[in-house]
Amino acid sequence: MISAFVFGIISSLHCIGMCGPIAIMLPVSRENRIEKSVQIVAYHLGRITSYSILGMVFGLFGKGLYLAGIQQQLSIVVGIMMILFVLIPQNKLGQINFLMPLYKLLNKLKKALGNQFKKKGFLSLYLIGFFNGFLPCGMVYVALFAALATQDVVLAGLYMALFGLGTVPLMSLMIYVKDLISESFRSKILKVYPFVIAIIGMLFIMRGLGLDIPFVSPHNLQLFIQPEADC
């Protein structure tokens, strides 16, 4: 659980590039500092809520995978998909038949998110964060597959909540000092993003292959067999 919070802090560097524009455009108060702080908290609570929901779903899925014994195969498939996501141009992804429903759902999500920017109030800020949490993000995907490994619905939800909590400090700081973070800086971060996703994808594949590399690719038997307790 500590690693979830730490990973959230590290991932927030990526959030500056991807979610930075959303954070900068938040309809928060400019006159009342206390009200602004509460509005920012509402936004973060929305994100943490969606992360927790996703975590619980993956925790339930992970429990089923544990019983079926196919975690390794899934790890390889996920790694390949992440690498393909980097290699295939974004405008081509939406043209793939089996991905079209996903892209339609994503467009509806973006529309719902955009509608909330036209409003002001704590509920709108909460909903902006809530919808923001469901937008595609490589770092969230990695955290979700770590949550999947807990094989427990509650623990997976808690894992993702702590991950979201780890992203709060830097994301909040960005809202307050948004004028100091240039567009060129965010664009540089986005250029590094595909390489990070590709590396993570390769790590998922190595993990699934069971190459007996400590902490990176444990032997396949070590993933499933636990030693019996001494009587």
Residue 127 has pLDDT above 50, yes or no: yes
Query: Would you say residue 150 lies in a domain?
Result: yes
List pLDDT tens digits, range 13-39.
766 666 667 777 788 887 888 888 899
Instruction: Report the domain count for the chain.
Output: 1
Evaluate whether residue 211 is within a structural domain.
Answer: no
Handedness of CA 176, 44, 152, 143 (dihedral sign): negative
Residue 126 DSSP one-character state? H
Residue 204 lies in a domain: no
pLDDT score for 24: 74
| Residue 198 domain-assigned (yes or no) | no
Give residue 51's pLDDT band: very low, low, confident or very high (50, 70, 90). Answer: very high
- What angle (nearest 5°) sits at the alpha carbon of residue 116, between those of residues 112 and 117? 120
Max CA distance (Å), the chain: 66
The pLDDT of 143-150, averaged and rounded, is: 76
18-33: b (≥16 Cβ within 10 Å) or e: bbbebbeebbbeeeee
User: Which tens digits make up the pLDDT trace of 159-214?
Assistant: 999 999 998 988 888 777 765 555 666 666 667 767 777 887 787 788 778 777 77
Report whether 6 contacts 159 (CB < 8 A). no
141 is a domain residue:
yes
Whether the CB-CB separation of 167 and 15 falls below 8 Å is answered with: yes
pLDDT at 163: 92
- Within a domain: residue 91? no
What gap in Å lies between CA 10 and CA 174, rounded to an integer? 15
Report the C-alpha gap between 149 and 66 in whole angstroms.
9
Q: Looking at the domain assignment, is residue 219 inside a domain? A: no
Cα separation, 14 vs 180, whole angstroms: 17
What value does the mean pLDDT of the chain take? 75
Query: Does 111 score more than 90 pLDDT?
Result: no
pLDDT at 198: 80
Give the pLDDT confidence score for residue 89 in this predicted structure: 67
Averaged pLDDT for residues 104-108: 75
Report yes or no on 221 lying in a domain: no
CA dist., res. 208 & res. 126, Å (int): 38
Containing domain of residue 66, as a range? 2-75+100-183
Least Cα distance to 138 among 91, 197, 64 occurs for 197
**pTM, two decimal places:** 0.70
